Amino acid sequence: MSRMVNCVLLKREAEGLERLTYPGDLGQRIFDNVSQEAWQNWVKQQTILMNEYRLSPINPKDRTFLEEEMDKFFFGSGASKIDNFVPNS
């Protein structure tokens, strides 16, 4: 049986992540409170951010920005709006 969590993003019980997906305290909070479905939503958002702002996960400044965005996405005000971004339909 899968591990279930009360997902902070979906606001319901859902299948939890199988393992830590991010290091440190933020990673533990995500593991304890974020579902697999919500994590996939973040992965899509992170990809948009990386492409639109031309971020590199190797760059410490970009990595810090993405971590702050991840924290806001799950536990704060939600995803940041990206100027002039129009998703493909």
Residue 89 covered by a domain = no
Residue 87 covered by a domain = no
Give the distance from CA 82 to its chain's centroid: 15
Q: How far apart are CA 84 and CA 69, in angstroms?
A: 18
Report the share of the chain in percent with pLDDT over 90. 82
- The dihedral sign for the CA sequence 53, 21, 33, 37: positive
Residue 44 covered by a domain = yes
Please give the tally of structural domains in the chain. Answer: 1
pLDDT of residue 79: 77
Domain that holds residue 47: 4-75
Q: Are 13 and 5 contacting, i.e. CB atoms less than 8 angstroms apart?
A: yes
CATH number at residue 8: 1.10.3880.10
Other Cβ atoms less than 10 A from the Cβ of 5: the count is 21
Residue 36 covered by a domain = yes
pLDDT digits (tens, 9 = 90+) for 31-50: 999 999 999 999 999 999 99
